[in-house]
Structure 1
Amino acid sequence: MALIIDTRTEPDRALALACETLEAGLPVAIPTETVYGLAADATNPDAIGRIYEMKGRPRFNPLICHVADFAMAERHVTFDPISRRLAEAFWPGPLTLILPLKGESAVHSLASAGLDTLGVRMPDGFSRAVIARFGRPLAAPSANTSGKISPTSAAHVEADLGDKLALILDDGPADIGLESTIVKVEGDEIRLLRPGGLDVADIERLTGRTVLRAETAGAAIEAPGMLASHYAPGAAVRLDATDVQPGEALIRFGGKPLPGEDKAALVLDLSPASDLREAAANLFAYMKQADASSAGTIAFGAIPNEGLGEAILDRLERAAAPRDGEAP
């Protein structure tokens, strides 16, 4: 089982052991402000291979590389003016930029899934200190079995991957609770590849440009989170529920009861106060709690498609999508 170190009480020990483990080519579960990540040396193909193996992740699905500062990013990717402006405004934070890889980059092609672009993010919090001490970018998808619910606590990571990992860094619950927003700048256009913890409206306000939402069904995989079925619990998922069937688990929003919830296996409210940031922070933890109940189906009440609601709905639609072996 993995050793778990609390970064709030033992920061020096956590940093030292994390770097020692990463140098050995082994993944480490690290806390970020979005979700917990499964991090490994982005320049070491054996280390990256272990990420794919631990997660059971398809190798055509690229990984995000996390950097400590602009200097580290610029050793590996080229910034266009719009991307640089976005990075300067929102880094460190929940924004991933898809940028052209430099020919001299030491990031291994396994991390980029052989693409000539790379997803790059500068995380906030303790993970950034780990990257700075390690001195190289860390490839770090979410620390969970591929396609399943993303972890927002060290306990979530331990329950899923604890028997495969040597080290988990515990920094408490993730502040944002949703993966990063991923965008790609193409000329004067900004294209959204995955909604996430940064509200797209903030990007539009900064740049004065409308962020384009592209249809991703059947599209080439350019970034994580683009697979049709993803973030899935073991239970079936039913969206936009207006009532609750006996024995279902209900996750609702805004403090509004639904008919039949008195016979539900479990009732949770993402945010009784209708706060989308609170809802985002609770989403994955509540999905895990509902999945651990006796319910065969998790019913979700309506969630507004605005602000962070766009990212929440993206995760729920992928969680509800047909899974491998299921009819569409």
Structure 2
Amino acid sequence: MSKFQHLSDSDADVSRAAGILAQGGLVAFPTETVYGLGGDARNDTAVARIFEAKGRPGFNPLIVHLPDLEAAREIAIFDHDAAALAQAFWPGPLTLVLPLRPDAGISPLVSAGLNTIAIRVPEHPLAVKLLNAFGSPVAGPSANPSGRISPTRAQHVIDGLESRIDAVLDGGPCGVGLESTIIGFAPAPGLLRPGGLPAEAIEACLGTPLAGVTGTTETTPSAPGQLTSHYAPNAPVRLNVTTPEADETLLGFGPVEAALNLSASGDLVEAAANLFHALRQLDASGVGKIAVSPVPEHGLGVAINDRLRRAAAPRD
């Protein structure tokens, strides 16, 4: 492919991005959650390039992005519960893991050999424009080196992947700032990964509790985003800290004195949107250790704490 391109949200640049995808190239694009690294989900070489660019383990499946529910039904089989969630929350920060249609034509690399597919319909208008312009399913994990902090701005993508991909579509900061919530349906609706849509909203729609969060793993994920050590800054992270040590830099939440604060007012929506950018700012400042204030374990706090626990997990 040609030299890396930093593209705008113009119709001409969206067409350029769709053309790059059609040639088997990789284009990072904004969603309401984080920036995704897009490749043609039906092109084995393009999908292999996604894994190569990210340094992502081949056993870790990818999310496929689609413009609408009709397109999603062409590659996956929906039961009653899945259809209800799709109709209620798509477009939006919800991924469904569903049986893959045998004739879907999706590269087997996308599903890492599983007979299911993780799919979602994003809400970001620039993502929708790209998906409609390309006209085919787009595999799109987060546009960052595997295991590192997810990108919520185009510059984050450039900092991590500029030399490994073909372009980024710049749609400004991501509004939600956390990856999508992932729901599986075998044998009943269950939470595979907390994310930008609170589990309480999903349970209210279904009228039944979700099965608990599936345990993290290092070798056998059933959905994207289940690896134990993930979303990690360079510095070690310690959680639920009210009084940081002298050599720690505090990432705050609520009315506390801190080098950076996710939300001084204690707003979980604001904290979710700021999380990954704040971790990147601390990385860029070269701090040696990061301490994080307690974050409530409800609503979006469940997803925030999930990402923080993975950021703090032991690393090889």
* TM-score band, normalised by shorter chain: over 0.9
Per-residue CA shift, 1:169-211, capped at 9, x if unaligned?
1010000000000001234x31100000001000011111101
Secondary structure, aligned partner of 2:185: strand
Matching residue of 1:294: 286
TM score, norm. by length of structure 1: 0.93
Q: Which amino acid aligns with 1:248?
A: E
Secondary structure, aligned partner of 2:315: coil
Matching residue of 2:141: 141
1:313 aligns with one of 297, 301, 305: 305
Q: Which amino acid aligns with 2:99?
A: P
In 2, the alpha carbon distance for the partners of 1:97 and 1:215 equals 14
CA contact (8 A) 1:291 1:298 kept: no
The percentage of aligned residue pairs carrying the same residue is 47
In 1, the alpha carbon distance for the partners of 2:108 and 2:229 equals 25
- Structure 1 stretches of 4+ with a deviation exceeding 4 A read none
How many residue pairs were aligned?
A: 312
Question: For structure 2, which runs of at least 5 residues remain unmatched after alignment?
Answer: none
In 2, the alpha carbon distance for the partners of 1:15 and 1:213 equals 39
Secondary structure, aligned partner of 1:292: helix
TM score, norm. by length of structure 2: 0.96
Matching residue of 1:22: 21
Bigger CA drift: 311-320 or 246-255?
246-255
In 1, the alpha carbon distance for the partners of 2:223 and 2:198 equals 18
Matching residue of 2:184: 184
Matching residue of 1:207: 206
CA contact (8 A) 1:6 1:169 kept: yes
Map of 1:18-57 to 2, 5 A cutoff? 18-57=17-56
In 2, the alpha carbon distance for the partners of 1:133 and 1:140 equals 16
CA contact (8 A) 2:192 2:214 kept: no
Map of 1:221-232 to 2, 5 A cutoff? 221-232=221-232
Question: For structure 1, which runs of at least 5 residues remain unmatched after alignment?
Answer: 262-266
Distance 1:215 1:72, change over 3 A: closer
Query: How many Å apart are 1:215 and its aligned residue?
Result: 4.3
Query: How many Å apart are 1:256 and its aligned residue?
Result: 2.1
Secondary structure, aligned partner of 1:212: coil
In 1, the alpha carbon distance for the partners of 2:214 and 2:146 equals 22
In 2, the alpha carbon distance for the partners of 1:202 and 1:297 equals 35
Secondary structure, aligned partner of 1:183: strand
CA contact (8 A) 2:38 2:140 kept: yes
In 1, the alpha carbon distance for the partners of 2:268 and 2:289 equals 23
Matching residue of 1:278: 270
